[in-house]
Structure 1
Amino acid sequence: MKVLIVVDMQNDFIDGVLGTREAVAIVPHVKEKIEAYRAEKKTVIFTRDTHGEDYLLTQEGRKLPVEHCIRGSHGWKISSKLDTADSEIIDKPTFGSYDLIERLEELDQEDALESVELVGLCTDICVISNAMLVKNRFPELQVMVDAECCAGVMPETHTTALKAMDLCQIEILHGHAGESEE
């Protein structure tokens, strides 16, 4: 089984309070990637950064005092440009998701995982956190990140995160068609 994980493609990270032009630019590529996986009947899972009204009182909120992805708000919703139909959405209260890992374990029991590919936002926070969790839980699994379907907080931290993941044997793809950097 091949799985695509679409990380936090939410309004607040695209064109909302924490949005960037780089995030806006990847939306069509992510949409194309989702459509390609669905055309081949592969599994697509979305994650959704989810905070409560008390966000500013949390450790993350004290370090990043910008309310974002508050459950139920417009910014919390996954971009309407991306079709979430027939996909599972996993809410996560922090950068990496153990619920995502548990879901992948269940899928692996049903039909052995062949690969997991991650795309989305932000490369340097939630994408890297989830990619590392997947790689640590499934060390022999092909784990990939498509650089052209990700954006970081800043272009330079996006590049740094890609280099860090590459060092941890996460395959970095360049081009939403899925060409490897090798």
Structure 2
Amino acid sequence: MKKAFVVIDYQNDFIDGSLGFEKALEIKENIINELSKLDFNTTHLLFTYDTHDENYLKSKEGINLPIKHCIKESFGWQMPEVFEPFLQKAHKIFYKNTFGSLEFANFIAKSEYEEIHFAGLVSHICVFCNIILAFSAKPNARLVLHQNLSASFDENLEKSAFDLLKAYGVELV
């Protein structure tokens, strides 16, 4: 079976930087433990990076979320150093300038993945958007969201996102 494990935007700015929140830090060890168990012969590891430039505040997203974050090459844009060994094993990394990545969706559409697992930040924003894109790109694939490997700063929005994902047939474990 062809599998992928996707880590969405687990970057410093979302953990303890300009948009950081406590729950984001709390899932770090869970993600590391899960990645340590992966068999890279049978599972492709994929990462997304939220990636903005200095003009972020002039973008539509920046107008609606006026907090500079994940400016390319900044410390906040990077993932925690402990993720470096996993980044070196990544099958592919996607740099996206908005919540969802069309490049990721197109890659998934052309892939042979039968099963795709998700983790990362922020549950009800980028994680949700990229799962929906994967759902559209690979409608017959098994999609799995690891709830203990994902976090949001808003429990109500997270619950709503999880309920919608379940309605689409995404497995929440």
Whether TM-score is above 0.5 comes out as yes
2:146 corresponds in structure 1 to 146
1:86 corresponds in structure 2 to 89
Q: Per-residue deviation at 1:40?
A: 5.9
Q: Per-residue deviation at 1:103?
A: 2.0
Q: TM-score, normalised by structure 1?
A: 0.88
Contact 1:27 1:81 in 2 (8 A): no
1:162/1:116 Cα in 2 relative to 1: closer, same or farther (>3 Å)? same
Contact 1:26 1:149 in 2 (8 A): yes
Identity %: 30
What SS does the aligned partner of 1:74 have? coil
Measure, in 2, the Cα distance between the counterparts of 1:172 and 1:31. Answer: 19
Measure, in 1, the Cα distance between the counterparts of 2:147 and 2:13. Answer: 20
Measure, in 2, the Cα distance between the counterparts of 1:114 and 1:61. Answer: 35
1:128-159 CA-partner distances (Å, limit 9, x unpaired) = 00000101121111011011100013222222
2:100 corresponds in structure 1 to 96
1:73 corresponds in structure 2 to 74
What SS does the aligned partner of 1:81 have? helix
Amino acid at match of 1:86: K
Measure, in 1, the Cα distance between the counterparts of 2:136 and 2:144. Answer: 13
Measure, in 2, the Cα distance between the counterparts of 1:38 and 1:26. Answer: 21
Contact 1:118 1:146 in 2 (8 A): yes
Amino acid at match of 2:35: I
1:54 corresponds in structure 2 to 55
1:21 corresponds in structure 2 to 22
Contact 2:106 2:137 in 1 (8 A): no
Contact 1:38 1:44 in 2 (8 A): no
Q: CA RMSD in A?
A: 1.3
Q: How many residues align?
A: 169
Q: Per-residue deviation at 1:168?
A: 1.2
Residue 32 in structure 1 maps to residue 36 in structure 2: no
Measure, in 2, the Cα distance between the counterparts of 1:155 and 1:136. Answer: 26
